[in-house]
Chains A and B, each alone.
Chain A
Amino acid sequence: MNLAPILDEKQAAANMAEIEPKYTQQEAHIEAQRCLYCFDAPCIKACPTGIDIPAFIKKIATDNLIGSSRVIFEANPLGASCARVCPVSVLCEGACVMLDRDQKPIKIGRLQRYATDHTLIDNDIPVLFAPEKKNGKKVATIGGGPASLGCAAELAQLGYEVTVYEKSKEAGGLNTYGIAYYKMTPETSIKEVDQIRRLGVKIQTGVEVGKDVSIADLDKNFDAIFIGCGLGRMAKLNVPGEDLKGVYDALDFIEEIHTQPLHTVPVGRRVAVIGCGNTAIDAVTEAKRLGATNAVILYRRGEEHMPAIPYEYGLAKADGCEFQFYTAATEIIGENGRVKAVKIAKTKINDKGRVELIPGSERVEEFDMVLLALGQEPYVKELKSFFPGLEMDKDGNIVRDFATGRTNLPRVYAGGDGANGGREVVNAVAEGKRAARGMHDDFFGEKVVGPVQATRYGMEGSPPSPVGSGFDWPVRAPELEKEYYKTHPRKERSTRRVPIN
């Protein structure tokens, strides 16, 4: 039997509605007024794009929503989608000083959504502007995802002429096609792309670099190239049966949800998702919400190892998804060319820290859909042919200077998943923005900093660095914390590092 949609239109829409509804004005006021308006606030530092969070929240409290939205978008041109998809509990909200006071961080993400919805979604009010007089430099971006858009928006505001090349029908990358629907609909991403287009950025969709336009052309027609290609297909599981019908790349499944009516998306009754990152969580939760009776995560390691953040994990569990830890799929069993079951072995972690199958532990569990979410693979082959000599690390990530996006090739910059190996949308935007500033420094010798809080920075006795430089690491990253406190024993464990549920 082929996979078919399970739910009717109404039920599918209800199940996939945004999980956190937009604040009402009063809700936004109450939450905004809770903000202490910290000076040189930790939340700003925890935001990779360095949004002046206390400033935009204060503006919500005074009903200056256009100003609030401007503060957000100037720092992060994808501020509306980041408001929805950022893992705020490990970024801005995870750094909120309120965690050390009364445990409840300010709901920065939801406030950010409230402000950006006002201009971008509800009222179509422009808040970003590009100078009329261009500086004469032209830049092309390869890919139209968050990194390229972050780069293009920053460049356009600095007076550059930018062309974005995107092979899909719509720009926005994962924001348009790959975020769980109940967190964000494609509409938000598309409107953000439009906002960037209105800065004068040419967005060429349906154009694949290397096929529809050559690198030689880009080299000839542009002063610099930004590689924001992201990552490619999901890694293979390398077990028998992987080619059976009903086995999907989890991102393809999520893309289907974004490109066709929800009630027409085929979904299994018993769905296995292999992997336990945030994409796996999105996939398993969406399968469940689209009507799967059982939606199961199979993960080779334990709960404490999974890359998914606690918030996402909690979300999936609350939806009734099942988690089988220390299990590995060793074979996908088919019937008439379709998935029928998965052979599952138990695993353990050996002395070297590697996963080992426990012999004789295999069992067979019936599934009619298998989603692979093992992490995306880099475009090593393509990049090597486009840019012979481009330095890449052993994992296939483009090597670039973190602060400026410079690669080892002149006039070629990089950022986003293709360079960082796959991180959050906000990291990609920040890297695109940094690359734009790196280019500006290279072309004109001008260093762009900020956004800087409106106060007297730089005076004697005040903190020397502009805010928004960004720690750019998850503030709760356990390994980082462990490393730091090896040499800095602390008296008391702070609540600010305890996962929020």
Chain B
Amino acid sequence: MWKTIGDPIVNVSSRYSALNIDSKLMVGFNNIELISDRAPETNFREIAECKKLWPDHAIIASLMVDTRERWHEFVKRAADSGADGIELNFGCPHGMCERGMGSAVGQNPKVIETIVGWVMEAAEIPVIVKLTPNITDITVPARAAKKAGADAISMINTINSITQVNLDKMCPEPYVGGQSTHGGYCGPAAKPIALNMVQSCAADPEVNLPISGIGGCSNWKDAAEFIALGATSVQVCTAIMHYGFRIVEDMCEGLSQWMDSKGYKTIEDFRGAAVKSVTKFENLNLSYKRVAFINHETCIGCNLCWVACEDGAHQAIDLIDPEANGLDLGPGRLPGVRIPRINEDRCVGCNLCSLVCPVEGCITMLDVETGKDPITWKQYQERLARGEVEPIPAHP
């Protein structure tokens, strides 16, 4: 993917900032950099040079201009340079949107339709529409792109953000001489938002377009998740900015090894395999029950599960005297130290304890046989209205 080409802009200094969590750097990443600040002729010439050197590799030219004439011109120049496809940048949430481009387009389905229409008039190579996540329902702009004849969509562009405030200067980062501006957020911490949107479009029969997954993809597992939720390809940028192109090697090998272990021969063997498991809440089975189980053989006694459940969930863990309850002390237990035990009557199976437990495999969530027939909220409401079921009592 080539850096977005358009009429040259002027950038500011500085441009990036990061969300660090503890010692983990760049968990989230933010930029206020605009599209390419180099002349279009330079970019198109270099695309041609690259295609000459690496004819087997696909190059997609990202484009962003304003008028119909300019779109026609740039689409043609991209094709002439040898680019294999075009991506329309309808997502940039800073700077360009103030000039009526980028996310200003992506946030307006009507405008998407119009511009994609212009592009399709001139395009002889595939056209991908890159969508902004800074909207309420991603499927609406995706449907607009489809309607206008786009060949594919890609998502997500960056999310509006302020990553941090410098508390000494009382100014957010990135710092531009005493000021800052809203930036575009990406990186590993943005992945859940991207996955949500990719799945939404993959599951929407009215969209029905190939999806290039973008947003926090940093390794083969991330890539496999995007693909499992319907992406036909993935794009990586922040992780490359952090660690360099060398990470691509493991992305390929790791994905390939994993696919071998699962018996998948091609991406298509598992692409979209997890899409259908995501459903509306009203279709979830209300009779399904799981509870937490704490393995005292591996419990190290940090009690993080206890305090999390006690203060932040359902008070379903007791701290008990192991000896009085006939339990083994567990590793490293000191005499007189209480151990956490799940109170299954109170446990709602929320997962919180298993999420905070720092020991691998110590807290597992177990399926419980409830003996109840499966019933969804939707069915429950219908049957309730028909008087076929008793109301489920409120949680005590």
Q: How far is the CA of A38 from the CA of B308 in the complex (A)?
A: 11
Q: Given known contacts A456-B311, A461-B315, A491-B328, is B335 in contact with A484 (CB within 8 Å)?
A: yes
Q: Given known contacts A29-B23, A36-B358, A39-B302, is B331 in contact with A495 (CB within 8 Å)?
A: yes
A470-499 contact mask (Cβ, 8 Å, vs B): 1 or 0: 010001000000001000101110111100
Task: Please name all residues of chain A whose beta carbon is closer than 8 Å to the beta carbon of B358 when the two chains form the complex.
Answer: 36, 101
| Leading 9 A-B pairs by shortest Cβ distance | A496-B332, A39-B307, A39-B303, A494-B332, A33-B22, A97-B300, A38-B302, A100-B300, A100-B332
* B359 part of interface (Cβ distance < 8 Å): yes
Q: Which residue of A lies closest to B358 (CB)?
A: A36
Task: Please name all residues of chain B whose beta carbon is closer than 8 Å to the beta carbon of A492 when the two chains form the complex.
Answer: 331
Q: How far is the CA of A29 from the CA of B359 in the complex (A)?
A: 22
Q: Contact check, B300 vs A101: say whether CB atoms are below 8 A apart.
A: yes
Q: How far is the CA of A45 from the CA of B337 in the complex (A)?
A: 9
* A387 part of interface (Cβ distance < 8 Å): no
Nearest CB of B to A479, in Å: 14
Q: Contact check, A455 vs B307: say whether CB atoms are below 8 A apart.
A: yes
Chain A residues near B (Cβ < 8 Å) = 29-30, 33, 36-42, 45, 61, 95, 97-101, 455-456, 461-463, 471, 475, 484, 488, 490-492, 494-497
Q: Given known contacts A97-B332, A462-B310, A492-B331, is B301 in contact with A38 (CB within 8 Å)?
A: yes
Task: Please name all residues of chain B whose beta carbon is closer than 8 Å to the beta carbon of A463 when the two chains form the complex.
Answer: 319, 338
Q: Contact check, A39 vs B331: say whether CB atoms are below 8 A apart.
A: no
Interface of A (DSSP majority class) = loop
Q: Which of B326-371 contact A (CB under 8 A)?
A: 328-329, 331-338, 358-359
Nearest CB of A to B259, in Å: 31
Q: Contact check, B332 vs A99: say whether CB atoms are below 8 A apart.
A: yes
Task: Please name all residues of chain B whose beta carbon is closer than 8 Å to the beta carbon of A491 when the two chains form the complex.
Answer: 297, 328
Nearest CB of B to A23, in Å: 13
Q: Which of B270-324 contact A (CB under 8 A)?
A: 297, 300-304, 306-307, 310-311, 315, 318-319, 323
Q: Contact check, A490 vs B332: say whether CB atoms are below 8 A apart.
A: no
Q: How far is the CA of A37 from the CA of B306 in the complex (A)?
A: 12
Task: Please name all residues of chain A whose beta carbon is closer than 8 Å to the beta carbon of B329 when the two chains form the complex.
Answer: 488, 490
Q: Given known contacts A29-B23, A101-B359, is B334 in contact with A95 (CB within 8 Å)?
A: yes
Q: Which residue of A lies closest to B315 (CB)?
A: A461
A495's partner among B319, B332, B338 (CB-CB below 8 A) is B332
Q: How far is the CA of A491 from the CA of B330 in the complex (A)?
A: 8
Task: Please name all residues of chain A whose beta carbon is closer than 8 Å to the beta carbon of B333 when the two chains form the complex.
Answer: 494
A42's partner among B304, B328, B331, B334 (CB-CB below 8 A) is B334
Q: How far is the CA of A356 from the CA of B190 in the complex (A)?
A: 73
Task: Please name all residues of chain B whose beta carbon is closer than 8 Å to the beta carbon of A101 when the two chains form the complex.
Answer: 300, 358-359
Task: Please name all residues of chain A whose beta carbon is closer than 8 Å to the beta carbon of B331 when the two chains form the complex.
Answer: 100, 492, 494-496
Nearest CB of B to A262, in Å: 38
Q: How far is the CA of A99 from the CA of B329 in the complex (A)?
A: 16
Greatest chain A CB density within 10 A among B301, B319, B334 is at B334
Q: Contact check, A471 vs B334: say whether CB atoms are below 8 A apart.
A: yes
Nearest CB of A to B164, in Å: 14
Greatest chain B CB density within 10 A among A33, A101, A492 is at A101
Q: How far is the CA of A497 from the CA of B333 in the complex (A)?
A: 10
6 new A-B contacts, CB < 8 A, other than A100-B300, A484-B335, are: A38-B303, A40-B306, A61-B22, A462-B310, A463-B338, A497-B332
Q: Contact check, A33 vs B23: say whether CB atoms are below 8 A apart.
A: yes
Q: How far is the CA of A475 from the CA of B315 in the complex (A)?
A: 31
Task: Please name all residues of chain B whose beta carbon is closer than 8 Å to the beta carbon of A37 when the two chains form the complex.
Answer: 304
Q: How far is the CA of A484 from the CA of B334 in the complex (A)?
A: 10
Q: Contact check, B334 vs A45: say whether CB atoms are below 8 A apart.
A: yes
Q: Contact check, A38 vs B304: say whether CB atoms are below 8 A apart.
A: yes
Q: Contact check, B303 vs A461: say whether CB atoms are below 8 A apart.
A: no
**Complex A-B: 25 CB contacts under 8 Å:** A36-B304, A36-B358, A37-B304, A38-B301, A39-B303, A39-B304, A39-B307, A40-B306, A40-B338, A41-B302, A42-B301, A95-B334, A97-B332, A99-B332, A100-B301, A100-B331, A100-B332, A455-B311, A456-B310, A456-B311, A462-B310, A463-B319, A495-B331, A496-B331, A496-B332
Q: How far is the CA of A100 from the CA of B298 in the complex (A)?
A: 8
Nearest CB of B to A261, in Å: 41
Task: Please name all residues of chain A whose beta carbon is closer than 8 Å to the beta carbon of B306 when the two chains form the complex.
Answer: 39-40
Q: Contact check, A30 vs B315: say whether CB atoms are below 8 A apart.
A: no
Q: How far is the CA of A494 from the CA of B319 in the complex (A)?
A: 21
Q: Which of B136-178 contact A (CB under 8 A)?
A: none
Q: How far is the CA of A370 from the CA of B332 in the complex (A)?
A: 42
Task: Please name all residues of chain A whose beta carbon is closer than 8 Å to the beta carbon of B336 when the two chains form the complex.
Answer: 471
Q: Which residue of A lies closest to B359 (CB)?
A: A101
Q: Which residue of B lies closest to A490 (CB)?
A: B329
Q: How far is the CA of A128 from the CA of B22 in the complex (A)?
A: 29
Q: Which residue of B lies closest to A475 (CB)?
A: B334
Q: Given known contacts A45-B334, A495-B331, is B323 in contact with A488 (CB within 8 Å)?
A: yes
Q: How far is the CA of A60 from the CA of B87 in the complex (A)?
A: 47
Greatest chain A CB density within 10 A among B303, B333, B336 is at B303
